[in-house]
Amino acid sequence: MTQVIKVKTGSKFEELGSYSRLVAVDNWIYVSNTAGRNPATQLISDDVIEQVEQVFNNIERALAAVNSNLGDVIMSRVFIQDPADTPAVMEFIGRKFKGINPATTVTCPPLGSNIYKVELEVTAFRGAATADVKEIMLSQ
């Protein structure tokens, strides 16, 4: 029988919007678009790199709740408010995903508030971190 697990963080936005931070359906794991707000203090830094670091802390905490980790991430969607921040944000993300290499989309849309400089959504498959991975390099 299919198992569905829904993880909530207590965020007022999850309650307001009736959503979960993470939904796991068997081994498929979907993490909602996640901002860089510290869940303990409810504070958010003005610095884009501090925000993206908190984003990863929030995502990693949610993944750990369902016995997963960043190594299981197979897709990421990166939303950066200011296009000028893209190189710095992607360099940080590149360090976090080094060797994981998920498929990734990067876009620069307006976010829900001007205080949000970066948000990240991921899809993971539990066990991908230990899977037999074959990489194919397409030559030009």
Task: Give 10-residue mean pLDDT values along the chain (140 residues).
Answer: 92 84 97 93 96 97 97 98 98 98 97 95 97 90
Of 53, 23, 56, residue with least CA distance to 126: 23
The length of the chain in residues reads: 140
Amino acid at 50: E
- What's the CA gap between 83 and 86, in Å, rounded? 5
**Domain for residue 63, yes or no?**
yes
The amino acid sitting at 130 is T
Domain assignment of residue 71, yes or no: yes
Q: Specify the pLDDT at position 12.
A: 80
CATH code: domain of residue 38: 3.30.1330.40
Is residue 56 in some structural domain? yes
Answer whether residue 48 is part of any domain. yes
In a domain, 138, yes or no: no
- Asked, for residue 137, whether it belongs to a domain, the answer is no
Write down the pTM of the prediction. Answer: 0.94
| Model pLDDT, residue 106 | 98
* Residue 70: strand, helix, or coil: helix
pLDDT at 16 (0 to 100)? 84
| pLDDT at residue number 100 | 97
Q: What residues does 28 pair with on adjacent strands? A: 25, 125
Domain boundaries, position 97:
4-130
The answer as to whether 36 is a domain residue is: yes
Q: Are 77 and 105 in contact (CB under 8 A)?
A: yes
**Does 24 map to a domain?**
yes
Count of domains in the chain? Answer: 1
